[in-house]
Amino acid sequence: MGEGAVYGRVRGVEVPRHYGDPAAEYEAARQGLAMRDRSHRPRLLVRGRAPITALQGVLTGRMPGAPVVFREGLVRAGIEYSAVLTPKGRMIADVRVMWGPDPEEESLFLDVPAPAIEPLLAHLKRYVPPRLATIEDVTADSGLLTVLGPEAADTLAEILLGSASHASEVEGLAEGEFIEVQKDQDDGLGTSGLRIARTCDVDVPAWDLFVSASRFGEVWDSLIKAGAAPIGAGVWDTLRVEAGRPAYGADMDESTLFPETGLVDRAVDHTKGCYTGQELIVRIRDRGHVNRSLRGLLLAEGPVPKSGTELFREDRVVGGITSVVESPRPRGSGGGGPIGLGYVHRDVSNGEQVTVGSAAGPPAGVRELVPGWFSA
């Protein structure tokens, strides 16, 4: 799978940075069919006497419901995006939470960013009573493959659902929904064969496939035969920044107050009972504000600044860069170029310019992270 690839490492796992031609990978994701192996993301299974009760006060978001049959051989269910916070509202992890592998058994399946897994496991060990639930790392038993591009829905329907005529069922999934192809035998994911989930973490149509380890190679090979181009972490990051989506370990970590990320509306259920970190979330929502927030940055042509570079307004530091990529897409009338994400002080309005690295540094335009933010 990795011929011609250039690798980096995530938690000791080799992850392709690219497969030899990043420009062609980007074009495939934008105009055709591409895929990325994201199996390096850890996956946890929470089961026991009362796993939902055990995690209710740990997660900020809603708890997922059990899948329901909507067509013979297929079930549908939701994926809840959530955060795990310290009592002071700082991030431990952001996670996607869904029902476990058996529709008849109450269990939870968690998809976790790799940099967050160790602090998350330590937190769960502290706050989840073993009498209610146990935490099992099932990363080795399953894989995660994301299929991207305008041809993705038709291809997934044909390969996984038997006919391109089912493309509307794939295309119709909203972020936070999955359909699951049921199998009779246990192949490493309990009774589930394969899950197809919509993701909006990148700025192209994309679907995550959660698939048992025993079937991963088969699915990969089928997509290669269908013309899918493998992409690496570099192009993925470009598409992610274009979508304005922060990544744990790059744009947020244990030092980040969760409301600074702009993810509260997406990840917090304000109607649920108590959860760890709730006091700060409610206080900021109702009576306060954060001093900084995550924004998009339109960077000047020239040397690309590094993550961590400070942002200035005149001689005052007003923020810092967290992610930087080179976007091939046109930006307004000025063409493509470097764009980024970063935290900017609340006194700086969207549409203003700051400077990078010093008061005399190159300019950067500050933008609100809305769809298409970098093309304005």
- Reported as a single tens digit per residue, the pLDDT across 347-374 is 999 999 999 999 999 999 999 999 989 8
Mean pLDDT of 212-220: 92
| CATH code of residue 315 | 2.40.30.110
DSSP 127-160: HS-TTT-EEEE-GGGEEEEEEESTTHHHHHHHHH
The SS3 call for residue 175 is: coil
Highest mean pLDDT among 67-76, 158-167, 193-202: 193-202
Among 290, 322, 343, identify where a domain stops: 290
Q: What pLDDT is recorded for position 185? A: 42
Domain at 53, CATH number: 3.30.1360.120
- Same domain? For 268 and 160 the reply is yes
Task: Indicate the length of the chain as a whole number.
Answer: 376
| Mean pLDDT within 176-181 | 91
Residues 271 and 322 in one domain: no
Same domain, residue pair 186 and 140? yes
- Domain check: are 253 and 331 in the same one? no
Same domain, 9 and 25: yes
> What number is the average pLDDT over the span 41-60?
97
Q: Same domain for 231 and 332?
A: no
| Judgement on whether residues 207 and 272 belong to the same structural domain of the protein | yes
| Statement: residue 3 has pLDDT above 60 | no
Whole-number mean pLDDT of the chain?
A: 91
Total structural domains within the chain: 2
Helix boundaries (H) for 226-329: 233-243, 264-267, 278-287
Question: Given pLDDT bands bounded at 50, 70 and 90, which one contains residue 103?
Answer: confident
From 290, 321, 343, give the residue that closes a domain. Answer: 290
Check: CB of residue 241 under 8 Å from CB of residue 339: yes
| 164 and 303 assigned to the same domain | no
Confidence band for 336, pLDDT divided at 50, 70 and 90: low
Together in a domain, 98 and 23: yes
Same domain, 162 and 297: no
Whether residues 181 and 117 fall in one domain: yes
**DSSP code at position 67:** P
Residue at which a domain ends, from 273, 290, 307: 290
Confidence bin at 188 (pLDDT 50/70/90)? very low
Q: Which domain holds residue 334?
A: 291-375
Q: Is residue 184 over pLDDT 60?
A: no
pLDDT-derived band at 187, boundaries 50, 70, 90: very low
What one-character DSSP code corresponds to residue 303? S
Q: What is the number of other CB atoms lying within 10 angstroms of the CB of residue 270?
A: 11
Overall average pLDDT of the 171-190 stretch: 73
pLDDT above 70: residue 186: no
CA distance linking residue 267 with residue 91, whole number of Å: 12
Do 30 and 169 sit in the same domain of this protein? yes
Mean pLDDT, residues 75-97:
97
